[in-house]
Amino acid sequence: MLEIKDLHASIEDKKILNGINLKVNAGEVHAIMGPNGSGKSTLASVIAGKEEFEIKKGSLALDGENLEDLDPEERAHKGIFLSFQYPVEIPGVSVTNFMKTAINASRKARGLEDMPANQMLKLIREKSEMLEIDRKFLSRSLNEGFSGGEKKRNEIFQMAMLEPKLAILDETDSGLDIDALRIVANGVNKLRGKDNAIIVITHYQRLLEYIVPDFVHVLHDGKIVKSGSKELALELEEKGYDWIKQEAIV
């Protein structure tokens, strides 16, 4: 589904990604781990199409189609979703209205009419119940005054609403207590299927106990330095990242 080949990316001439190779097939869950500053969030932003990052070399394709020239919204229309580490506050626009705008924008891009109001309401009810989100929460301004946990839960709610082909979860576990983590992970697991894929970016193994990955990759200095099965995450938890860094130097 997603194929990244020898991807180099920079911001203002500062190299951040130095040759990433990654292949994600439908039905798979990949975890990307690594120390601070290793390029995890950059990789997520580059896949989602953030303009500040310049691709210097390599390629990025979804279902065989090169993504490089597509705007972030066009990538979203093709089914890419990024759950943000720091979701942005939008005063005056409620969660519900924001979702309506987003869903109808995607439908418009696909040549469809606006989703009928009753269908929209049903979808909102269904997905908010799945994530144990209070109805009152949905009429609040998007992310404004939300706690860290509420923001993350709201990101996953958006993911559930948009039903992406490829979801990238950037540090979704940060700011979540154990109950919220369970609810969020549960929501993500319900969205797992044979036709879609998930990339989980995280510091800690904790989230991976709930969202069990098929593959774990370790990012260091903008490169994947080690890949393995879910056991690799446990090993990292135990030993830290230093031994990986050592290996990389050798």
Partner 1 sequence: MDLKDKLLSSFLAFENNVDLDHPVHEVRSEAIKNFEEKGFPSKKEEAWKYTSLNGIQKVDFSIFPKKENTLEYKDIKKYFLHEIDTYKIVFIDGVYSSYLSETTHDGVDVCLMSAALTKPQYKQVIDVYFNKVASKDESLTTLNTAFSKEGAYIYIPKNKVPKKPIQIVHLATGNEAALMLQPRNLVIVEENAEVQIIERHQSLTGNEVLTNSVTEIFAAKDANVDYYKVQNDENTASLIDNTYISQKDKSIVRVHTFSFGGKLTRNNLNFYQNGEYMDSVLKGVTILGEKQHVDHHTLVHHAEPNCESHQDYKGIFGEKSTGVFNGKIIVDRIAQKTNAFQQNNNILISDKATINTKPQLEIFADDVKCSHGCTIGQLDEDALFYLQSRGIPKKEATALLMYAFANNVLESVRIPELKTRINKIIANKLGVRVGFEL
Binding region for partner 1 (CB under 8 A): 45, 48-52, 71-73, 75-77, 80-82, 84, 86-88, 90-93, 96-98, 100-106, 109, 114, 158, 162
| Shorter beta-carbon distance to partner 1: residue 39 or 79 | 79
Please, which residues have CB within 8 angstroms of residue 147's CB and are 6 or more apart in sequence? 175
Q: What letters, b where the CB count within 10 A reaches 16 and e where it falls short, cover 109-140? A: eeeeeebeeeebeebbeebbebbebeeebbeb
Please, which residues have CB within 8 angstroms of residue 23's CB and are 6 or more apart in sequence? 2, 3, 4
The minimum distance between CB 77 and partner 1, in angstroms, equals 6
The minimum distance between CB 48 and partner 1, in angstroms, equals 5
| Shorter beta-carbon distance to partner 1: residue 18 or 96 | 96
What is the spatial distance between Cα 10 and Cα 141, in angstroms, rounded to a whole number?
34
| Shorter beta-carbon distance to partner 1: residue 18 or 85 | 85
Q: List Cα–Cα distances, 212 to 29, 104, 244, in angstroms.
A: 7, 32, 22
The minimum distance between CB 166 and partner 1, in angstroms, equals 12
What is the spatial distance between Cα 153 and Cα 233, in angstroms, rounded to a whole number?
24
The minimum distance between CB 13 and partner 1, in angstroms, equals 18
Q: Which helix (H) or strand (E) holds 139?
A: none
What is the spatial distance between Cα 185 and Cα 29, in angstroms, rounded to a whole number?
13
Tokens of 29: 């869950």
Residue 77 burial class via C-beta count within 10 angstroms: exposed 0-12, middle 13-18, buried 19 and up: middle
| Shorter beta-carbon distance to partner 1: residue 75 or 217 | 75
The minimum distance between CB 179 and partner 1, in angstroms, equals 26
| Shorter beta-carbon distance to partner 1: residue 109 or 229 | 109
| Shorter beta-carbon distance to partner 1: residue 6 or 52 | 52
The minimum distance between CB 185 and partner 1, in angstroms, equals 22
